[in-house]
Amino acid sequence: MTIAVTGATGTIGGLVLRNIGHRLPVRLVGRDPAVLAPLADAYDATFAVATYEQGGALVTAFDDVDTVFFVSGRESAHRREEHRTVVESAHRAGVRRIVYLSFLGAAEDCTFTFGRDHHFTERDIRDSGLAFTFLRDSWYQSMLPAMVDDTGVIRGPAGEGRVGAVAPDDVAASASAVLASADGTHDGATYRITGPEAFTLTEAAEVLSRVTGRRIRFVDETLDEAYASRAHYGAPAFEVDGWVTSYAAVAAGELSPVSDDVARLTGNAPIGFEDYLERHPDSWARLLL
Q: What is the pLDDT of residues 228-284, one digit of tens each?
A: 999 999 999 999 999 999 999 999 999 999 999 999 999 999 999 999 999 999 999
CATH of the domain at 132: 3.40.50.720
Instruction: Quickly state the pLDDT bin for 189 (edges 50, 70, 90).
Output: very high
Q: Is residue 80 situated within a structural domain?
A: yes
pLDDT higher than threshold 90 for residue 76: no
The number of distinct structural domains making up the chain is 1
Taking the C-alpha atoms of residue 272 and residue 252, their distance in angstroms, rounded to an integer, is 23
Q: Is residue 288 situated within a structural domain?
A: no
The pLDDT of residue 1 is 82
The pLDDT of residue 117 is 95
Q: Is residue 113 situated within a structural domain?
A: yes
The pLDDT of residue 273 is 98
Q: Is residue 34 situated within a structural domain?
A: yes
Taking the C-alpha atoms of residue 271 and residue 173, their distance in angstroms, rounded to an integer, is 11
Q: How far are the Cα atoms of 156, 178, 250, 277, 286 from residue 173, in angstroms, in the given order? A: 30, 9, 25, 18, 27
Average pLDDT estimate for 25-44 = 96
Q: Is residue 53 situated within a structural domain?
A: yes
Picking from 222, 206, 202, the residue whose alpha carbon sits closest to that of residue 214 is 206
Q: pLDDT by residue (tens digit) across 101-121?
A: 999 999 999 999 999 999 999
Structural domain boundaries enclosing 175: 3-137+168-193
- Amino acid, res. 57: A
Q: Is residue 232 situated within a structural domain?
A: no
